[in-house]
Amino acid sequence: MIKCIDFPDQQFATKEELHTALRSNAEKIIALKTAEIYKSYQKGFAFDGFMLDRLPESEVGKIGPQMKDGFVYPVLSTTKYMDSHWDVHFDGVWDQSIKQQAGKLHYVVDHELKIASVIAWPGDVKAMVKSVPWSWVGKEYEGNTEALIFEIPKSKLKNAAAKEAIEEKRPVQHSVRMAYVKIKLAINSTAAENKEYKAYYDSRINEIANKEEVEELGYFWGVEEAKIVKECSMVLAGSNDATPIRQKLTEPANPATQPKIEPANPATQTKTTTFINPNLY
């Protein structure tokens, strides 16, 4: 029997039976999804990881944001990756929201919009979307993903527990308070009645990094546009490990690149002889 998160109280004997239920209820499911505001770690789209690693100076600015000394970069979302709620966010998903929410987003603990839970205030949070290689977020997939990232001065981090977690490289995760705006159903089916959903599936499947999981499932929800609602959070538990915290660390001196001082070679040195005239003493 097949279980489906969209029908928690039902089981299906075949994928075809599941696809029929999805097609028949697609409009209702989309209406429910777009009517809700989600804390993404609760819906299965939270982000694991703490990767305060060292980037060589030669790589700084070539990938991701041009990271600066004294800043932290929580990665809050990645595209083209199916999450455990069977959603796939695609490039451009945050384009409108990032403009509308500029200077308005809090970085908080556990989605609590309380003074004591604020890690950084909106005036100190710069939100950005950057195309980065999957390796930049700790994955081995080919190609790039669009990452939603905060840039925050370390000096502006207010919450003591969060600061300690960052300094001690604790395995914290992140979650976006979000709302769907445009979402589509994709179904891998040859049935004539699924033609519309199959066309969308075919148009997007090769963009998805973990497409083998999608192919096994046979469908996904494509999120073409979403909006961030007031804050993004540091949390303990999530389900997506494609978003670490990044920061630039100073590259230590590499002995191999330092000028090499050769020992003196007696054969090439000028010999100086001092003559003391005893008649002068």
The arithmetic mean of pLDDT across residues 38-64, rounded, is 47
Which amino acid makes up residue 63? Answer: I
Task: Quick: pLDDT tens for 226-264.
Answer: 999 999 999 886 555 565 677 776 544 444 444 443 444
Residue that wins the pLDDT comparison between 119 and 52: 119
Buried b (16+ CB within 10 A) or exposed e, 243-264: bbbbbbeeeeeeeeeeeeeeee
Name the maximum alpha-carbon separation found in the chain.
Answer: 120
pTM: predicted TM-score of the whole model, two decimal places: 0.78
DSSP label at 279? Answer: G
| CA distance linking residue 15 with residue 62, whole number of Å | 44
Q: Phi and psi dihedrals of 25, rounded to 5?
A: -115, 10
Confidence class for position 62, pLDDT limits 50, 70, 90? very low
Which residues are 128's β-sheet partners? Answer: 149
DSSP label at 82? Answer: B
Task: Quick: pLDDT tens for 140-186.
Answer: 899 999 999 999 999 999 999 999 999 888 878 888 999 999 999 99
Confidence class for position 94, pLDDT limits 50, 70, 90? very high
pLDDT at position 158, please?
Answer: 97
pLDDT at position 138, please?
Answer: 81
The arithmetic mean of pLDDT across residues 190-212, rounded, is 96
pLDDT at position 274, please?
Answer: 35
Percent of the chain with pLDDT over 90: 57
In the block, tokens 């191999």 appear at: 256
| CA distance linking residue 160 with residue 241, whole number of Å | 25
Chain mean pLDDT for the chain: 81
Task: Quick: pLDDT tens for 11-31.
Answer: 999 999 999 999 999 999 999
pLDDT at position 21, please?
Answer: 94
| CA distance linking residue 134 with residue 218, whole number of Å | 24
| Alpha-carbon dihedral sign for residues 175, 177, 181, 186 | positive
| 188 within 8 A of 104, measured Cβ to Cβ | no
The arithmetic mean of pLDDT across residues 181-202, rounded, is 96
| CA distance linking residue 129 with residue 143, whole number of Å | 16
| CA distance linking residue 22 with residue 177, whole number of Å | 26
pLDDT at position 280, please?
Answer: 37
Q: Is the pLDDT at 47 greater than 80, yes or no?
A: no
The arithmetic mean of pLDDT across residues 198-209, rounded, is 98
